[in-house]
Chain A
Amino acid sequence: METVSLASAFAPHIVAVVGVALAIMADAFGRRALAVFGASAGLAGGAVVAGIAHGRPAAISGDLAVSGAGFSVVSAVVLGLAAVVVIGSLGWLRSTPSGGGLAALAAVVAIAAAAIAQGADLLVLLISLEAMAVGGYALVWSARTEASTEAALKFFVQGAVATSLFVLGLAILFGMYGASTSYVWLRAGMAGMTAPPVTTAFVLIAVALAYKLGAFPFHSWAPDAFESAPPHASALLAGIPKLAVVVALMFLFTRAVFPYIDPTIALWVFGALAVASMAFGVFGGLAQRSYTRMLAYSGIAQVGYALVAPALGAPAMMAVAVLLIAYAAAAAVAYLIAGYVRSVRPEWDGTIAGLAGVGRSHPLAGAALVVAMFSLVGMPLTAGFWGKFLVFGMAVSAGFWWLALVGVLASVVSFGYYGAVLKAAYFEGADPGGQGAADSPAPETTPDVPAVTAACVLTLVLLGIGVAPLFIGLRWVATLLSFA
């Protein structure tokens, strides 16, 4: 691995931080729109820089960060997606007090996620997790309602406990083996030992990351947080952090630090988490009446599908990256559409039934909803299919066909709630011939145009990734996302 300078590894993040600074200053002067554009531009710039770096083979630079190939691509996707979502939230951010500051915080969350995706040092991971968490608490709180305040506090308390567990795990590993918290040194220090302390540290760090992913039983913050947070904030917090954390988890557990741990331990730990999350997310989702809370449960289920990958080991890294890129985009669309519907139908009580006739009265939003829902289910012609195809394909080729079957059947049950959204959006309203539910827009609603435009852009991405492989195969995905 030829070394590349640390600065160039963190170049994308530095560019984005400039955007954050710009945003904070703009907000200070009360120019919220400028702040949002600044933050989004910073993120976009970072995405471009990361994209350029993807040509190089993966290399750990300065013992702290890994860049090149798949890692840079994930970092680029994280930053790019965040840029789109931040711009998509322009309508909301402009109308909410200290919107510029929130845009800056959103950018910080994205940058931290990108840092996690490229982190090769436990301390870098810790600091980024903390930054992402702080940004998350503020964003969840920013709806300024009783529910969001309470949800933010719960988010904080569990986050604090998770962080302390992470520190405990770091203490054990660093204290006993490492001259530094970098993966390279830790691995050298441990030199193949699988003594109980290593497995304990393995579990503690896995728990901290699983908490951030929202896997069962560490999921409790997700439903409350994503339901009461402003939908635009949830759009950012739902998908993007999960993508980064899973890539970090895969790199940490299957390649960098714990590769020689007995594979059955990895299979059992991550397999158990995966199946539990799938079951909880899918069945829990069925019982939900609120649209955003249902999406939170579906997030837990999607994490369940993703955690199948670490259970299989290193080769499944590309597969899970595709799965979660698709999920991040689809979740962003789903939440942005919720934002849009709230702006168009102020009387919407947030329930799925409340979406009656949205498909008919707002065709664009409806189309985005259809593609997002089908991508979350994993239907062919959408990106979600290829994610599940690769992950379950890996599971099957590793011999765990039953795990693939559980996953696929969970996706079938998940149609129970994804389909309910489409049912409400298109089948409700008067019997054929009648217009949708009374949706004569109240005079003062201003449709959240940025949100629906951002949603449509991401929808095209989902469709693009969904249909392109039919013609040009999956080889380009393999080269792009190779984490070799």
Chain B
Amino acid sequence: MNLLVVAMLLFSVGLYGVLTRRDLVAVLASIEVMLGSATLLLVGLGATGEMIAGTQVGGGTVEATGVMIIVLAAAEAAIGLALVVAVARRFRTTRIDELTGVKG
């Protein structure tokens, strides 16, 4: 049960980071924390060794799915950083609370 607690705690901390950190890069870091903790939970739950519907729960597919998600997270980080760089170039700042031009 404490795997669930650890993973969800990390997820919540990451989410809190996203919601409160001033700096864009820090927000990205928090997003990575969230995705990492979600992956951890996925693999952790997968590794319980239960037998469901005749097949070994977990096994190769869990790891393969893990790999897929890590790749996705990396892609996410890449495009995120690209956007952050674009914002930095255009707005000369990375403070998220100054980016409120578009509203209404």
Contacts and interface: CB of A to CB of B under 8 A. Distances in A.
Q: Do A and B come from one complex?
A: yes
Interface of A: 123, 126-127, 130, 134, 137-138, 141, 146-147, 149-154, 156-157, 160-161, 163-164, 167-168, 170-172, 174-181, 185, 188-189, 191, 223-224, 227-228, 288, 290, 293
Contacts of A147: 101-102
Interface string B74-102: 01100110011011001100000001011
Contacts of B27: 157
B16 to A, nearest CB: 12
B42 to A, nearest CB: 4
B87 A153 contact: yes
Question: Is chain A's interface secondary structure helix, strand, loop, or mixed overall?
Answer: helix
Nearest to B86: A149
A201 B57 CA distance: 18
B38 interface: yes
A339 to B, nearest CB: 19
B25 interface: no
B99 A154 contact: yes
Contacts of B13: none
B78 to A, nearest CB: 9
Given A149-B90, A153-B83, A175-B46, A161 B31 contact: yes
B35 A150 contact: no
A130 B72 contact: yes
A123 B65 contact: yes
B35 A164 contact: yes
B72 A175 contact: no
Contacts of B45: 171-172, 174-176
A288 B104 CA distance: 8
A191 B27 CA distance: 40
A161 B15 contact: yes
Given A161-B18, A164-B35, A149 B76 contact: no
The 8 closest A-B pairs by CB, nearest first: A175-B45, A171-B42, A179-B55, A167-B38, A164-B34, A224-B102, A160-B31, A171-B41
Nearest to B91: A146
Nearest to A140: B83
Nearest to B56: A179
Given A127-B72, A153-B87, A161-B34, 8 more contacts: A127-B68, A134-B75, A137-B79, A153-B86, A160-B76, A163-B35, A163-B72, A179-B57
A197 B84 CA distance: 36
B5 interface: no
A90 to B, nearest CB: 25
B1 interface: no
Contacts of A179: 52-53, 55-57, 59, 61
19 contacts: A126-B69, A138-B79, A146-B91, A150-B87, A152-B86, A153-B87, A154-B102, A156-B79, A157-B31, A163-B72, A164-B11, A167-B35, A167-B39, A174-B45, A174-B46, A179-B59, A180-B61, A189-B52, A227-B102
A181 B31 contact: no
Contacts of A167: 35, 38-39, 42, 69, 72
A175 to B, nearest CB: 2
B30 to A, nearest CB: 9
Nearest to A157: B27
B52 A168 contact: no
B90 A126 contact: no
A290 B57 CA distance: 53
Nearest to A130: B72
Contacts of A160: 18, 31, 34-35, 76, 80
A188 B54 CA distance: 10
Contacts of B42: 167, 170-171, 174-175
A229 B30 CA distance: 27
A123 B61 CA distance: 11
B39 A152 contact: no
Contacts of A127: 68, 72
B35 A137 contact: no
A188 B52 CA distance: 9
